[in-house]
Chains A and B, each alone.
Chain A
């Protein structure tokens, strides 16, 4: 792996096989995620990106292979170990998955209230602090998830994923459904939070701009395997046909610019 040597591996995926019925989605997948990096995870629609993410966080069963998080083999771990690992990660679901019957405040305080014995004042102050860190303010606290816009839902969901100060956050298509400006803001928010909190970010995405601006490393899933992992430069230089189509396609300004020899990301 390109830049991995000497860095701590926080998620280690080895030979993982996941399938539904006769359909094998992931076929002996290997992947390492290093501490403190933002890993962009890409692949065609239906290639199984979300499946791998959900397998790592334990929502889908795997047929073979091992997944180690912080060095703990998740399928062999006791409930206590699993639980302590679950407290060290946060998950941003594609649709936010906010608890619809609770307000934003209650959503943000839910796991904190359960796991930590804090005073109501501190709980409320931290809810405001987390909201401001994701670029909202206290006025959203008493709203219900159904009253939030798409962008706000994503931000609140991110704040909830960060509620217990996790070490890893999983983001499932964080910028999907946002307009390009909102998506750009969200990208820089993730980069800022990653720097501030020292997070490890595992981001499933289709957004080429996100990949270019915030991701340290990119892993590509195709044909049920991780076919490449490395920096954007590695991806652009790769001769693999799928990678070429993805990164040099019509929608990739980066690719077009690179081919035309012009500076990347120049206005069209």
Chain B
């Protein structure tokens, strides 16, 4: 593209002649706006303005509006403003834009409405989903991720933060509560049965290892699949139903990149954090019950815990978390994109999403158990 100016000005006393050049179209709108604002500042003292549009090769709504804005601004200062040389083809458009009234500037409403999410439906056993869809979605996500890595400006940061807020931050209270209670129950059951053998103190080993290796991350993943996986499926599904995803495509956007990648990334970041917090809450619950119900002093609990667990125990749990998050995110997205036109289908897919992701999380946990056992962690 040329770098010629789109608007040239020649001031002569209180008379100003402006001449438009080149294409006054969408692609040049930003430059044109800058030049118009510049002209407005530079020629503050003129009384008569004539704008010669003869040199403008192309004009669209963007250019027509900016011309109209220029005319209004000079007229608003009490200048006598004329537009000349406008091509006949563009006359309609300029007249149309001329009637636009901006005055009733609408008040921005405080916008806090969140789309209500469909509740998790009935439990339906129907987990048979093809591996191809899974691999396909993983591939599409990988491509989208590579594109974002190659050009980080494509990352939808706002969407990512919004999803992190939904997935992680808002999930903290319920996850702390549930893991805390699970920790309490394990400790109570352990003490109750171990006491018969006089082995009360080993409840600390059991709580520590069980919570850090398995239960913390597993319970968090099951909660997240129910809370966020279902929400993802419902959101994507209803967008699919209302042709919103088609609309994105026709505008040249990739739905995987715009909608799914931020959601899956939010899960992969959020779940390990939640798993860590959940494990801590469960240990706290276990310690509390051991003290109040089993008479094990907190000091003894802590020193025993230090002997029972190692850094590996903790690592095993945390390594699993992002992989499980990925499984939940991918399954939820596949089910969401599989929604057909009806609301019933949305319900079915949401259910399938939750059932399937919990199932796959547990299967994956089994594979990890074998893997860690064989590498001796």
Contacts and interface: CB of A to CB of B under 8 A. Distances in A.
B is bound to A = yes
B271 to A, nearest CB: 24
B131 interface: no
B93 interface: yes
Contact of A129 (B100, B107, B108, B246): B100
Contacts of A91: 247, 250
Contacts of B100: 128-129, 132-133
Nearest to B111: A103
A171 B239 CA distance: 20
A122 B104 contact: no
Interface stretch (A64-72, A192-200, A249-257): A192-200
B232 to A, nearest CB: 14
Given A133-B96, A196-B92, A142 B61 contact: no
Interface in A80-127: 82-83, 86-87, 89, 91, 93, 95, 97, 99-101, 103, 110-112, 114-119, 122, 125-126
Contact of B244 (A57, A99, A128): A99
A142 B106 contact: yes
Nearest to B109: A142
A137 B60 contact: no
Interface string B16-32: 00000000011101100
B113 interface: yes
Contacts of B244: 97, 99-100
A124 to B, nearest CB: 9
Could you say which of A58, A89, A126, A198 has the most chain B C-beta atoms within 10 Å of its C-beta? A126
B150 interface: no
Contacts of B113: 144
Could you say which of B69, B97, B108, B243 has the most chain A C-beta atoms within 10 Å of its C-beta? B243
Given A122-B29, A129-B97, A110 B251 contact: yes
A263 to B, nearest CB: 29
Contacts of B102: 125, 128, 138
Nearest to B28: A116
Contact of A117 (B30, B101, B239, B251): B30
B315 interface: no
A99 B62 contact: no
Contacts of B107: 142
Given A86-B252, A196-B93, A93 B243 contact: yes
Contacts of B306: none
Nearest to B97: A129
Contacts of A58: 249-250
Contacts of B69: 125
A50 to B, nearest CB: 11
B34 to A, nearest CB: 9
Interface in B68-126: 69, 89, 92-93, 96-97, 99-102, 104-109, 111, 113, 115
A139 interface: yes
A164 interface: yes
A91 B252 CA distance: 12
Could you say which of B96, B99, B104, B247 has the most chain A C-beta atoms within 10 Å of its C-beta? B247
A195 B96 CA distance: 11
B180 interface: no
Interface size class of A (residues with CB under 8 A): 35 or more
Interface string A189-210: 0000001111000000000000
A59 B249 CA distance: 8
A170 B66 CA distance: 27
A165 B65 contact: no
Given A86-B251, A86-B252, A138 B108 contact: no
Interface string A44-77: 0000000000000111000000000000000000
A110 B253 CA distance: 11
A198 B93 CA distance: 9
Could you say which of A82, A110, A122 has the most chain B C-beta atoms within 10 Å of its C-beta? A122
A165 B61 contact: yes
A150 to B, nearest CB: 14
Contact of A116 (B26, B239, B243, B251): B26
Given A126-B65, A165-B60, A83 B252 contact: yes
Contacts of A9: none
B33 A111 contact: no
Interface of B: 25-27, 29-30, 33, 60-62, 65-66, 69, 89, 92-93, 96-97, 99-102, 104-109, 111, 113, 115, 238-239, 242-244, 246-247, 249-253
Interface of A: 57-59, 82-83, 86-87, 89, 91, 93, 95, 97, 99-101, 103, 110-112, 114-119, 122, 125-126, 128-130, 132-133, 137-139, 141-142, 144, 162, 164-165, 195-198
10 contacts: A58-B250, A89-B250, A99-B247, A100-B238, A110-B251, A116-B30, A126-B61, A132-B99, A162-B61, A197-B93
**Sorted from nearest, which 9 A-B pairs have the closest CB atoms?**
A97-B243, A86-B252, A165-B60, A196-B92, A97-B247, A83-B252, A129-B100, A132-B100, A141-B106
Given A116-B30, A119-B30, A141-B106, 17 more contacts: A57-B250, A59-B246, A86-B250, A89-B250, A110-B251, A111-B251, A116-B26, A116-B29, A122-B66, A128-B101, A129-B65, A132-B100, A133-B61, A133-B97, A142-B106, A142-B109, A196-B93
